[in-house]
Amino acid sequence: MFKVPDWYLTVSRRLSDVFDEIGVNEKMLMKRRRSFLLDETTQAIWERLLPTKSLFYFLGSQPEGTTTTGLNSDFDQVVCYTGRVIIQDMSEWTPEADTHLMIQDEKTQPGYCRLQKLRDDAPLPVIGEYGNYYVKDTHGRVLYKNTNLNAFPLAGHRQGPAQSTKGQLGCIDTDTVLALPLKSLPQEVKCWLNQQVGGSLVTEDVKRYIERTNYFVVGIGNRASENEAFEWRISTTLAERCVMFNLNITQIRCYILMKIILKTYINPHYPDCLSSYMCKTVLLHCIKNKHSSLWKENNFLACISHCLLTLHDCILSKICPHFIIKANNLMAGKFSYQEKIQLAKLTSNLRQNIDNAILGIPIDDLGLRLQIKLHMVPWLQYNIKPSFYFGLKTAGNLLWNTAYGSDRRYRNKILKKLTPINLNMSNHFLFNIMLHLIRNFRKGSKWEKTACQQLIPQFCTTIGSLTASYNIQQNNTVSPQALTWFSAGLDTDVASSRLKLASVYYCIGDMENVAHILGHIEKCYSDLVAAVCSCYNFNNVNVNIGFCSISSQSNEEATGHVIAFCVRFLPSEFNCVPYELQYEMFRSTEDEILHRNKIEDFWMDWAVVDSLPYLYFLQYKTFGQLHRNEDQKHALRNLEWAIYTRQNLGHKDTAFNLLGQCMERENRPADAIRCYMMSLNIRPRNNVAKIHICVLLSKFICNNM
């Protein structure tokens, strides 16, 4: 029996309190998982609505909740290309477009395989030459090279089988792993499942999930293999994620602490020898081999000590068995004999002095916080973040990232497709998607219902605006049908959908309705609201503590109260756009179009503006029409204030262009020129400010002739 010293209990409890303070608690664990699983479900719905040959899975520390602010873990996603099918036996063959047979023999390392190309018309191997993507082995088999995944058009650079993308707009750095799907449960997993008899780690529910989940191969070979260039690693990541979701909070904290120790004491000296995945595997072996009564908060120190002892033994033997595919040694070829001796000595010292090691950890002020909890130092002497900071900050970032991802997908997958087509085609396209969403909502899982609830209002607003634009073109009115669609989409967020409705009323001259809607938006647009724009990359993302507090108390439903998306008008919505904003649809000369990013800058043919500046601009215009002069002046001051003080504005250049036109109306040409120049400083190319300046100078010259 593993003996626990008495003083371990006190330190363990205080250490558990520290982890609770830095956001590693059950509440934040569930919030992280909910956010990423909902995001994954939403992505899956998109892939079904607009069929592609890709499936996305979100994995690793972020979805598991096994990270902290200080660890700054990457976000891992698997993109599974379903256009190619991997079978394990010829009996699984069907006449599909692109089928490969998994080969595992004495030359294949455990946990790896090779992929043999099969014919499309018969369950037979391809013979002969088959292009640069393949290579022949000594038996004449045509094998698929794992380097082929380099050709997939994903942004970022490769790290092994992954492509890495730096975080944007406050988002997490992303590692994208490209994979191919297995048609059936791998034999190694079947054998492992047959060996699992009861236990708290692999319950019957977990086993059932593991039996029916998806498995992949990823394009990386074993370093020790002579066939590394055409070997593929079998991935059981979804099964492992399920197991991790079954851990209790002490086990999660133990894994996080192992990663923190690795980052603090081991990686600086031996950066490529041990990985967080090895730490996870060691933890899972420890949990399986130790009675569940050990894994409690008051045994925290004993748990981490046992994990370090197990890691030490793995290093000495240079064997760390994969948790599911045990014959796959994760440490094979990872470090030399001399490195093994040094690593073993280091991990032994860490285990024997675990309390001092933890007290010296700077990440998240972990060591200092523990010293304060143990009354070793007075907390007043140190400037550390308060205990509520980490949980609130994490909750705020999760909600902001969820909103950003939702906005970006809708922009890329719907609005981009609507841009070149006419109204009838647009409505037909949107109606079909709406029917799919409604079916998903009625028959789908809990996650699918929630995802559809978030998606449907966006479609309603777009349909309403397109219909209203057509109505205005025909007879300068808005049909009840368009208003009904708008009504169903008003809760997309706190402002953008209502601002589009206000624009419709403005364009038909119903100023009283415009003023009423804008007044409602202004009341709802408090300091808690965060602006979200996915149109292009900018580096200034800030969410205040009030926004984070609301995010902590709520889930994705808070989007309707504390998120403001930018307001977008497509060319087909031209008749719903005030003429001052219509200029933005003509921002580019033929030469400037050549300098656009073809993938990201398609939105430049739209009129796009941030919600808050647009709110005050519309108020300025509306109050002018209603002859409410004081209110109009107040709106103009608010517009200036919003542009100069509010953060996270993605279209500040457009806001300056609108402000400049207001200044022209106020007969302040010098201020107007200054606004247009500020706009050009932000975006020198593809900016209609150049036209505004030319028009203003032309007026000035004509008036002085």
**How does DSSP assign 295-351, residue by residue?**
-SGGGHHHHHHHHHHHHHHHHHHT--B-SSSTTSBTTTTSS-HHHHHHHHHHHHHHH
* Residue 134 CB-half CA count within 13 A: 17
Structure tokens at 699: 């007026």
Q: How far apart are CA 68 and CA 18, in angstroms?
A: 12
Q: Is residue 629 part of a domain?
A: yes
**301 and 377 share one domain:** yes
158: domain CATH number is: 1.10.1410.40
With respect to residue 31, please indicate whether it lies within any of the assigned structural domains. no
Are residue 362 and residue 396 in the same domain, yes or no?
no
Which range scores top for mean pLDDT: 51-55, 195-199, 296-300, 646-650?
296-300
What is the β-pairing status of strands 85-87 and 99-103?
parallel
335-358 average pLDDT score? 95
Residue 438 resides in a domain: yes
Tell me: pLDDT of 173 over 80. Answer: no
Task: Provide mean pLDDT across the span 510-535.
Answer: 95
Q: How far is CA 556 from CA 4, 405, 550, in A?
A: 43, 12, 11
Task: Give percent of the chain with pLDDT exceeding 70.
Answer: 94
Q: Are residues 198 and 291 in the same domain?
A: yes
Closest by Cα among 283, 329, 289, 326 to 191? 326
The pair of structure tokens assigned to 201 is: 């780690």
pLDDT of the residue at 5: 62
Residue 539, pLDDT above cutoff 80 = no
Eight-state DSSP code of residue 630: H
Among the ranges given (183-192, 221-230, 456-465), the one the predictor scored with the smallest mean pLDDT: 221-230
Last residue within a domain, chosen from 349, 381, 413: 381
C-alpha to C-alpha distance for 499 and 492, rounded to whole angstroms: 11
pLDDT digits (tens, 9 = 90+) for 642-656: 999 988 899 999 999
- Confidence at residue 133, expressed as pLDDT on a 0 to 100 scale: 82
* Residue 88 included in any domain: yes
Residues 204 and 81 in one domain: yes
The model's pLDDT over 33-81, given as tens digits with 9 standing for 90+, comes to 999 999 999 999 998 888 788 899 999 999 999 999 899 888 888 999 8
pLDDT bracket for residue 423 (50, 70, 90): confident
Same domain, yes or no, for 362 and 418? no
Task: Choose one of 347, 381, 415: the last residue of a domain.
Answer: 381
Residues spanned by the domain of 694: 390-703
- Do 465 and 504 meet the contact criterion of CB atoms below 8 Å apart? yes
pLDDT above 70 for 641: yes
pLDDT at 605: 93
Contact between 222 and 112 under an 8 Å Cβ cutoff? The reply is yes
Tell me the C-alpha distance between 687 and 682, whole Å: 9
In this structure, is residue 679 part of a structural domain?
yes
Could you give the dihedral angle defined by the CA atoms of residues 374, 379, 384 and 390, in that order, rounded to the nearest 10 degrees? Answer: 50
Which residue type occupies 573?
A: E
**Residue 392: both structure tokens together:** 């609130």
Task: For residues 491-504, give the mean pLDDT.
Answer: 96
Quick one: 377 and 278 in the same domain? yes
Query: Domain check: are 545 and 646 in the same one?
Result: yes
CA–CA distance, 604 with 29 (Å, rounded to integer): 39
Which structure tokens are listed for 426? 């647009």
Strand-pairing partners, residue 118, are: 125
Q: Compute the distance between CA of residue 274 and CA of residue 267 in angstroms, rounded to an integer.
A: 8
155/302 same-domain check = yes
Residue 188 in tokens: 């190694």
Q: For residue 325, give every residue at least 6 positions away whose Cβ sits within 8 Å of its Cβ, in sequence order, or none.
A: 110, 111, 188, 189, 192, 234, 236
Q: Which of 381, 416, 435 is the last residue of a domain?
A: 381
Q: Please give the full DSSP string across 84-113, using - where no structure is assigned.
A: SEEESSGGG--S-SSEEEEE--TTSPTTEE
Angle in degrees, 0-180, between the axes of helices 669-682 and 652-665, rounded to the nearest 10? 170
Q: Hunting for tokens 């992280």 — which residue is that?
A: 32
In this structure, are 400 and 339 located in the same domain? no
Residue 200 is inside which H or E element, if any? Answer: none
Helix (H) or strand (E) holding 165: strand 162-165
Query: Tokens for 330?
Result: 């994760």
What's the confidence (pLDDT) of residue 215? Answer: 96
Give the model's pLDDT for residue 537.
Answer: 66
Which range among 168-177, 329-338, 596-605 shows the weakest confidence by mean pLDDT?
168-177
Written as six digits, the tokens of 77 are: 């996603």
Mean pLDDT in residue range 429-443: 91
37, part of any domain: no
Q: How far apart are CA 696 and CA 701, in angstroms?
A: 9
Q: Find the helix or strand (DSSP H, E) in which 158 lies.
A: strand 157-159
pLDDT at 168 over 50: no
So what's the pLDDT on residue 150? 58
Could you say which DSSP state residue 125 is in? Answer: B
Partner residues linked to 563 by β-bridges: 530
Cβ-contact 552, 590 below 8 angstroms = no
CB 67 within 8 A of CB 61: yes
Let me know if residue 592 belongs to a domain: yes
Residue 163 pLDDT exceeds 60 = no
CB-CB contact of 36 with 24 (8 Å): no
- DSSP bridge partners of 232: 113
Q: Are residues 315 and 438 in the same domain?
A: no
Residues constituting the chain: 705
Q: Based on the structure, what is the number of domains in the chain?
A: 2
Helix (H, G, I), strand (E, B) or coil at 187: helix
Per DSSP, what are the bridge partners of residue 116? 101, 143
> Is 698 a member of any domain?
yes
Phi, psi of 183 (to 5 degrees): -75, -25
DSSP-based three-state secondary structure for 540: coil
* pLDDT tens profile 7-46: 778 999 999 999 999 999 999 999 999 999 999 999 999 9
How far is the CA of 219 from the CAs of 54, 103, 223, 239, 604, in angstroms?
16, 15, 13, 19, 37
Contact 186, 328 (CB under 8 A): no
- Name residues whose C-beta falls within 8 Å of residue 454's C-beta, 6 or more positions apart in sequence: 42, 406, 556, 559
Same domain (yes/no): 370, 398: no
Whether pLDDT at 538 is above 60: no
Predicted confidence band of residue 520 (pLDDT cuts 50, 70, 90): very high
Per-residue pLDDT, averaged over 670-675, amounts to: 96
CA distance 177 to 78: 5
- Residue 4 has a pLDDT of 55
Residues 444 and 375 reside in one and the same domain? no
Which residues are bridge partners to 218 per DSSP?
179, 233
- What's the whole-number average pLDDT of the chain? 90
